[in-house]
Structure 1
Amino acid sequence: MDNLFLFTSQYPEKRGDGSFVKNEIEDLAKNFKKIYIAKLHWNKDIERYKLPDNVEVVFEGFASRKEIVTKGFFNFSSIVPFFLLLKNDFFRIKKIKHIKIFFIAFLIGRGLASSSKIKNILKSNSSKDMVLYFFWGTGMSYILPWIKTHKHKVVTKLHGGDLYVEVLGYIPFRKFILNRVNTIITISDSGKNYLYNYLKKLQIKNKKIATIKLGTFDRGVFTNKSENAEQKIIVSCSSIIKVKRIPFLFDILNELANSKKIKWIHFGDGVGMRDLIKSIRKFKNNNLEIELKGYVDNNDVINFYKNNHVDLFINVSTSEGIPVSIMEATSFNIPVLATDAGGTGELVGDSLKTGKLVPVNSSIEKIVKDINTMLFLEYDNYTPREFWMQNHDARLNNIKLIQTLKNNSEKII
């Protein structure tokens, strides 16, 4: 395979999947003659990552929902797939909101398929010359029912929300898309096990599944101890949305601060930021110092780790794929406390010497007790960087990704 057609959500914009794709693109560019990028969302005001010379964005995405509706309805793509997809999904649509999700996917797929640039690239590159790589199993993947892929090899990567159907209750075009792709990449062993059983349930056979864990690059490690031995530095990094439970994390650290001096630094923004700030102003303990950094570029997070001692990284999500934020923390030898959501258990645990894994439904009191144990009794027991070096070095994982994209070496179910 000489060329790659990469379908993303936001990359190369510095938001969304931008930081994830960035960890792959340099190595991909070295191994493919030409890389075309089509992305789903477009915002002219967002800063972009610099692209390698042989990488070109050929479809900028939709700037608004209105544009999705307009381009989805008013084009000359065949309407026939609509009825086939509706028949396929009819018994999976169980709520009113699922109908809305179905029609949004329908509009996105037809809108993407109307792009002359996308169609011309598919036509001008034979199946032997180019592989189609969908970074997500939703979003851009909705184009698959509407285009002729000319027998190209199709690879999709599944993470969390685009893998575990229970998260949303319904994922549109699921059976069609999984039938069409040749190779499915999961980012965790738990994801692979889930997918294996899910494919059997859908009676989909002869699919290749590769588990290729996400990774981060080695930026060294900050080794100095904190200048303030009395105050412990705890960091979290995520969007402030429901499943991330940042208000719950605030309650945990507020309780912890009843007996210890804590500084909490959170990287990330989201729809819950305003309510979080209100709670902090109303209930914050005087022993708890808080810095809400809001949205920052991933490089800024990395630079913070490179120049500051951190005692603990914490994640209390109810749903995850396999968190890159935890990988980044462990690469700097920062112990982690995290809830057992998605593939997090493949990153965190006493047996891995990376930190403590707690049940998702753990109480505030239970988590506070575990944090105290980690910080004051077992801190020197953890060697998270050693685990990261063996499992989540992006350079090593990218080699496997490129092999998977270029050939069919994975075992067939």
Structure 2
Amino acid sequence: MKILLLLTHSFPYGSGEDFISAELKYISGFDKVFICPCSREKDAIQTKPIPDSIKCMPVSRTDLGKKEYIRLLFYPCIAGEIFRLMRTGRLQCSRVHEMLFFMRNAREIYNGLKQSVNINQDDEVLIYSYWLYDAAAAGVWLASYIRKMGVKVHQVSRAHRFDIYSSLAHYDYLPMRRWLFEHIDHIYPCSNDGAETLRAEAGPYAEKISRSYLGTADHGYGIVSQKPFHIISCSFISPVKRLNLIAEALQQANFPVEWTHIGSGPLEQQLRDAAKKFPQNVSAEFSGQKKNSEVLEYYKKNQISVFVNVSSSEGIPVTIMEACSFGIPVIATDVGGTHEIITNGVNGFLLSKDFSTQEFLGLLRRIYEMDESDYRAMCVNARKSWEKNFDAAKNYRSFYSGLAALT
């Protein structure tokens, strides 16, 4: 029997990881599929539906006992990681502490998985971690445990943003990378930029890394037009999203703009306060947190002129894929793999990471004043870019066909 174990952070519980939903309907080639949320809050409730054919198997984590934690300190892989840090001149107490914290979490996840998973001798197992982080490390141990039972097992992992770029991590350090590269059979970053970054880091294991785009469902064209000029953004309101820069630009706008932001977060009140300084020709609506289905329904039923994303860091934003699928042009910062979906002047515009508010405002005005035929061409190109590379049906069927072939 072919078994797929999909290791998530908390999906289908709590908030976040909404984009996993898009691929579940395309899972094929397996007799049993289990979603294993590895780090859900104890009181979390299931917030996302999953197909009846897929079972949810939450991982019960308990703190490592003192004896097990001491044994963990003497694992050869940890000694190897410390030696690698020494050899590369990156050994610091802070990084060793981060690595031990990471491995403790991974071991707790592994212990929970080992208790939950029921494998028979004639099974074939694929462990699929959605993130190249602690659950992937737990998967390495789980694969070894299953293999010792005489069961055929493979392990793969996706990688997105924080689990690719060490510059985003505490102490500029992602723990146990070489160990993960060595033991995971294949790694699928979500962008070419991410793939190049991981290959440069993976050394002799670079051939294990292949770019695999995510995708979004087809909901058809939206109601896209320049007038009234309606810009939309959709994200968690956090420092990395830099929504304050949108607000600062709109405080200087001298043409009519309607701004809608979908999402909430710790900086929401600051954003609302900034919007109070908008001139009379600019309005703002903060819609709060919405389910992904509600966001897509909004795009379908409301007139939108342009989607904006000014993050300082990204993988390839699923929110941009969604906007393009509706034929909405995009203004976005050229970070991570964003340039793999947005071509400057074709389906939107790219800003440098450290753009000025005047540059951003200038691009808004450029779209606002664009000839209607040019604007329509940009809308068509947005849709075409989605059809070519980010259609969920094409991407996920291909992805799962490849996974099924591994077992």
Q: Same fold (TM over 0.5)?
A: yes
Cα distance in 1 between the residues matched to 2:97 and 2:267? 24
Counterpart residue type for residue 196 of structure 1: R
Residue matched to 1:407? 405
Contact 1:71 1:110 in 2 (8 A): no
2:194 maps to amino acid: G
CA root-mean-square deviation: 2.5
Contact kept in structure 2, 1:212 and 1:400, CA below 8 Å: no
SS where residue 163 of structure 1 aligns?
Answer: coil
SS at match of 2:209: strand
Partner of 2:290: 296
Q: Distance in 1 between matches of 2:74 and 2:242?
A: 37
**Match for residue 146 of structure 2?**
150
Deviations 1:283-334 (A, max 9, x none): 3333221111221111110000010110010001111000000000000000
Aligned partner letter, 2:341: L
One-letter amino acid of the counterpart of residue 296, structure 1: K
CA contact (8 A) 2:14 2:44 kept: no
Q: Is the 8 A contact 1:5 1:131 kept in 2?
A: yes
Where does residue 275 of structure 1 map in the other structure? 270
Distance, in Å, in 2 between the alignment partners of 1:177 and 1:224 is 45
Structure 1 CA distance, aligned partners of 2:375 and 2:251? 21
| Residue equivalent to 2:150 | none
Amino acid at match of 1:205: Y
Unmatched tracts of structure 1, length 5 or more:
63-69
Corresponding position of 1:12: 12
- Does the aligned pair in 2 maintain the 1:264–1:291 contact within 8 Å? yes
Distance in structure 2 (CA, Å) of the matches to 1:241 and 1:355: 24
TM-score (norm 2): 0.87
Displacement, 1:371? 1.7
What pairs with 1:116-135 in structure 2 (closer than 5 Å)? Answer: 118-119=114-115, 121=117, 123-124=119-120, 129-135=124-130
Bigger shift: residues 328-337 or 51-60: 51-60
Q: Within 1, Cα distance between the matches of 2:279 and 2:97?
A: 43
Q: 1:140 Cα deviation (Å)?
A: 1.3
Q: Aligned-pair distance for 1:381?
A: 3.4
Identity %: 25
SS, match of residue 114 in structure 1: helix
Pick the aligned partner of 1:265 from 252, 255, 260: 260
What residue number does 2:200 align with?
197
Q: Give yes or no for the alignment of 1:73 onto 2:46.
A: no
> Deviation per CA, 1:149-185, whole angstroms, max 9, x where unpaired?
4341100001111011122111112111121100110
C-alpha change, 1:154 and 1:45, in structure 2 (3 Å) is: closer
Establish whether residue 179 from structure 1 lines up as the match of residue 182 from structure 2.
yes
CA distance in 2, matches of 1:119, 1:401: 29
Cα distance, 1:119 vs. partner? Answer: 4.6
Distance 1:367 1:122, change over 3 A: same
Name which of structure 1's ranges 332-341 and 287-296 shifts more when overlaid on structure 2.
287-296
**Number of aligned residues:** 388
Is 1:358 matched with 2:351?
yes
Q: Distance in 2 between matches of 1:100 and 1:83?
A: 15
Inter-partner Cα distance in structure 1 for 2:16 and 2:200: 29
Instruction: Give the secondary-structure state (helix, strand or coil) at the position aligned to 1:87.
Output: helix
Correspondence for 1:341: 335
CA-CA distance at 1:389 after TM superposition: 1.1
Inter-partner Cα distance in structure 1 for 2:292 and 2:15 = 9
What SS class does the counterpart of residue 407 from structure 1 fall into? helix
Q: Secondary structure at the match of 1:59?
A: coil
2:240 is the counterpart of 1:240: no
TM-score normalised by structure 1 residue count? 0.86
1:71-122, Cα deviation, whole Å (9 max, x unpaired) = 233685882465434323332765665344323312211211222x535626
Q: What secondary structure is seen at the aligned counterpart in 1 of 2:219?
A: coil
**Pair 1:12–1:193, CA change in 2 (3 A):** same
Q: Distance in 1 between matches of 2:118 and 2:98?
A: 27
